Structure 1
């Protein structure tokens, strides 16, 4: 598979603080890759470095296998929506795109109408940008990205502030661009349930470090099942579990709840162990984790391994 973006030991420091620690990352052709992390994890900084809005402190970036002076040419095959684009409020969609088309030296005038058709704004001929809904504004932002016919889109929080309908429209649009137009997508969002519905790969970043990198299949396998316990004495339960299973992975939650991430196939045995040792098990169930829970398990500090 061809790598579209590759970084080698990429870092970013501000004064004494290292925002991005030596980062090796690659984005392969055809992927919809979700970059997931809390605020301040380094996502936006990473996107700004890729877009050329910030310079890395050290390390190397390759785009489509090109680096150094050749990277600017390769960057023309990319489109970035890292901050909300500044459109003219009194212009229509066509007027706005016409301005950017001329500014960017895109000769083909037809392309404006094609991209408005792709993002579902072709019928909004007279409406001024100011009167657009948030979802329409984001779709025009994506239309602007598509103006130069890129092979790869890098989108930072494209569904931020959208209502349910707007979110659904953007999801459908991105899926269509990926499947029908073969556009590779790198995306971040706080709305993990949406990324779960969209992405083919999930990269988790914490304090500027990639802590996990999973395909959809692997994520589904890893997050498939866990045991959920409610007991009368979580401290005693933890002792019993650690004594019986050396490599048990669990998390203690409030209200005497415990989740166990492995040994799911030995759930009956675990239940018996607790009951025979005087722990009152109020609830014992096996639940499927979603992306959000998997993410929290990775980034919270109090996970036991």
Structure 2
């Protein structure tokens, strides 16, 4: 698969403090990759290096296979929204984008209408930016990213501060850009539950270090429901489970606990099987693994 972004041993140090430790990362064509970490984990620093707003201390960045002096041309194929863009408050969306179109040397004037259509702001012709909702402002920021018809978007916290409706609008927009326009997306957030609905890959950053890198399939596997049992005789319970269900998937934990990963919908029958065979069930419950807690465990701690 073609790589869009590739970093090799990328580091960033401020005043002798290493914000990004040697970081190897690859973004492949077609992905929606979520970069997840608490505030201060190094997400924005990493994005600013990709955008050329900060120079790496050491290491190398490749965009579309180009690095060094050749990277400039590749950057034109990227759209960055690292901080909220500074729009003119008294301008409409069209007026704001016309200013940036001229500034950025985008020749086709009709591109403004096209991007406003994509982000669903084409019908807001007279509304001035200062009267926009937060969600509309974020969508205009994405429209600005799209002005030069990029192949890849890098978005830093695009859903931060949005209400539920605004978050849903941004999610639908990013999915549309990825699926209909084939735009690869690297997006950061600390809101895991929302990113689960959007991303195809999840990279977790802590203190400038990647601590986990999972596909959506792996993440979904981790979030499946399971049966949680506490019994007086673990060995007998395990034997009964294996006799009753040939393909049973279970784990024996300390303190007489057993977790069962499949046959979850047959929980009642499993409970009855144990009771009928004189296994005392002290606790029986269904639970989904709490991904927020699990992954906050990965990324919490003393952030730089």
| TM-score, length-scaled by structure 2 | 0.81
In the alignment, the residues of structure 1 paired with residue 5 and residue 253 of structure 2 have an alpha-carbon distance, to the nearest angstrom, of 34
In the alignment, the residues of structure 2 paired with residue 36 and residue 230 of structure 1 have an alpha-carbon distance, to the nearest angstrom, of 34
**2:34 aligns to what?**
34
1:51–1:80 Cα contact (<8 Å) kept:
yes
**2:201 aligns to what?**
201
Residues 153-232 of structure 1 aligned to structure 2 (within 5 Å):
153-225=153-225
Residues 272-291 of structure 1 aligned to structure 2 (within 5 Å):
281=282, 283-291=283-291
Distance 1:66 1:91, change over 3 A: same
Q: Return 139-148 or 216-225, whichever deviates more.
A: 216-225
Query: Residue 9 of structure 1 aligns to a residue in which SS?
Result: strand
1:223–1:294 Cα contact (<8 Å) kept:
no
Deviation at 1:176, TM superposition (A): 0.2
Encode CA deviations 1:45-99: one digit per residue, 9 max, x unaligned: 1011111111111000000000010111100000100000000000000000000
Residues 143-158 of structure 1 aligned to structure 2 (within 5 Å):
143-158=143-158
Deviation at 1:284, TM superposition (A): 3.7
Deviation at 1:291, TM superposition (A): 3.7
Distance 1:261 1:82, change over 3 A: farther
Unaligned regions of 5+ residues in structure 2, if any? 232-250, 275-279
Larger Cα Rg: Structure 1 or Structure 2? Answer: 2
In the alignment, the residues of structure 1 paired with residue 155 and residue 258 of structure 2 have an alpha-carbon distance, to the nearest angstrom, of 32
Question: Is it true that 1:87 corresponds to 2:94 in the alignment?
Answer: no
2:80–2:145 Cα contact (<8 Å) kept:
yes
Question: Is it true that 1:104 corresponds to 2:107 in the alignment?
Answer: no
Deviation at 1:112, TM superposition (A): 0.2
In the alignment, the residues of structure 1 paired with residue 252 and residue 35 of structure 2 have an alpha-carbon distance, to the nearest angstrom, of 28
In the alignment, the residues of structure 2 paired with residue 297 and residue 261 of structure 1 have an alpha-carbon distance, to the nearest angstrom, of 23
Aligned residues: 270
Encode CA deviations 1:180-227: one digit per residue, 9 max, x unaligned: 000000001122211010000000111111111011011112333466
Query: Residue 198 of structure 1 aligns to a residue in which SS?
Result: coil
**1:2 aligns to what?**
2
1:225–1:264 Cα contact (<8 Å) kept:
yes
In the alignment, the residues of structure 2 paired with residue 75 and residue 248 of structure 1 have an alpha-carbon distance, to the nearest angstrom, of 52
Deviation at 1:288, TM superposition (A): 1.8
Query: Residue 205 of structure 2 aligns to a residue in which SS?
Result: strand
Query: Residue 158 of structure 1 aligns to a residue in which SS?
Result: coil
In the alignment, the residues of structure 1 paired with residue 300 and residue 161 of structure 2 have an alpha-carbon distance, to the nearest angstrom, of 25
**1:72 aligns to what?**
72
1:225–1:286 Cα contact (<8 Å) kept:
yes
Unaligned regions of 5+ residues in structure 1, if any? 232-246, 251-257, 273-277
| TM-score, length-scaled by structure 1 | 0.81
Question: Is it true that 1:25 corresponds to 2:56 in the alignment?
Answer: no
Encode CA deviations 1:115-162: one digit per residue, 9 max, x unaligned: 000000001011110111111100100000000000000000101111
**2:128 aligns to what?**
128
